[in-house]
Structure 1
Amino acid sequence: MVNGQHVVVLDGLHETEEVLKAVLEPRGCRVNRIRKPQPGHLIAEQDLPSIVVMHDDDSANSSHAQPGWDEIPKVVIGSVKVPATDQAEQSTRFLMQPFQYAELIDSIESLLNQPRSLQ
């Protein structure tokens, strides 16, 4: 199901990374946590994540620091948002704080199972 895919947690809690690693890595999904990506520190195209998990406080700047990340599906944790109905927003899930890890995992799995047309 998630074999060979890559989830990146932008900032966020260390516990979030640990829970996702415990659940997703046995299924073959890499999980990494990146703290405040800088525009000069580019991630190679082959290492682009399948999903980005971020807090809404970080979403305005962090995901735009990397080329190609605007098109990557995201799980945004934070305040309530009303997603637009355009194509890009269909690949974004919003979780309100406090959130349950089961909700986060369900959102990630749902996005990982969606057909993607990035390349």
Structure 2
Amino acid sequence: MNDGQHVLVVDELTETQEVLQAILSPRGLTVDHFQRTAPVPFNRIEETPDVVVIDADSLPSQQAASVRWQGIPQVIIGSATISADPRPAATQRHLSKPFQFPELIQAVEQLLSATRPD
């Protein structure tokens, strides 16, 4: 993984972000957290994350399918599906609840490797 890659966690709980930050930050990645009660901090192109981790069960489907995140590789956690942004399997992973954090880390790492510039 390249230094400077960015992961955004979209979840009402902070545990997922905290675990990813503990594992990925020492590798030079930035991990940020977004909750629907707070404004999205990523308005400029240069702040677009490389991967978005979405807890689809904690967000309304229209918000989870936000155009802001279309075209960005995603890990979808939960039973809900996001149909507004159909994408090839190479840029999306699904994890059912309950999931294990090693599964999540592996999914994020795979997507980050796929988005790494050559």
Range of TM-score over shorter length: 0.7 to 0.9
In structure 2, the residue matched to 1:32 is 32
Report the number of matched residues.
112
- Cα-to-partner distance string for 1:51-110 (whole Å, 9 max, x where unaligned): 00011232722344453x2000000000286x9xx7534311000100000000000000
**TM-score normalized with structure 2 length:** 0.79
User: Using a 3 Å threshold, how does the CA distance of structure 1 residues 29 and 46 change in structure 2: closer, same or farther?
Assistant: same
Contact 1:12/1:54, CA 8 A, preserved across alignment: no
In structure 1, the residue matched to 2:10 is 10
In structure 1, the residue matched to 2:21 is 21
In structure 1, the residue matched to 2:90 is 90
Report the aligned-residue RMSD: 2.7
Gapped regions of structure 2 (runs ≥ 5): none
**Partner Cα distance (1:64, 1:38) in 2:** 16
Q: CA deviation at 1:15?
A: 1.0
Gapped regions of structure 1 (runs ≥ 5): none
Contact 1:43/1:66, CA 8 A, preserved across alignment: no
